[in-house]
Amino acid sequence: MNGPQGFGPPGDVVTTVGVEHVRLSYEYLDRRDMDGYGSLFDAEAELRSPVVGVVRGRAQIESYQAERPLDGGRHVVEEVFSARGRVVVVGRVTGAGREVEFVDLFTLTEHGLLRSQKSFFFAAPA
């Protein structure tokens, strides 16, 4: 048995909680539940995206997402990979007659909150 009471290394439990927080973040965004969405992030969290650059702090991340139009779109999570405080999501955003593939990289706090999110989007070469 690993770790206390057979649960494996302490990082495994936190990562499992973090994976659920990541999945919930997409659900909350799609429902436009900014309070729920923000509750998943650390107060000093950071969001990086080619769309907005860098957004720092939970309140600013909530504000950015609340103002961002989704045009009826929704996130489709296709794959999730995780290891010791990191989560990678492969998916797509659908809506407004278009679909965009993405990869999001998350880091977690020691409590499973989202410390950072870095987004990459697929774009066909010009």
CB 75, CB 89: distance < 8 Å: no
Give residue 13's Cα distance to chain centre: 18
* Residues linked to residue 18 through DSSP beta bridges, in sequence order: none
CA-based Rg of the chain, rounded to a whole angstrom? 15
**pLDDT at residue 126, as a whole number:** 62
Half-sphere exposure of 3 toward its Cβ, with a 13 Å CA cutoff?
Answer: 9
Spell out the per-residue pLDDT of the chain, length 126, in tens: 333 444 434 478 899 999 999 999 999 999 999 999 999 999 999 999 998 899 999 999 999 999 887 777 899 999 999 998 999 999 999 987 889 999 999 999 999 999 999 999 997 766
CB 106, CB 116: distance < 8 Å: yes
**pLDDT at residue 92, as a whole number:** 96
Nearest by Cα to 117 from 31, 36, 54, 24: 54
CB 81, CB 13: distance < 8 Å: no
In this prediction the pTM is 0.86
**pLDDT at residue 1, as a whole number:** 37
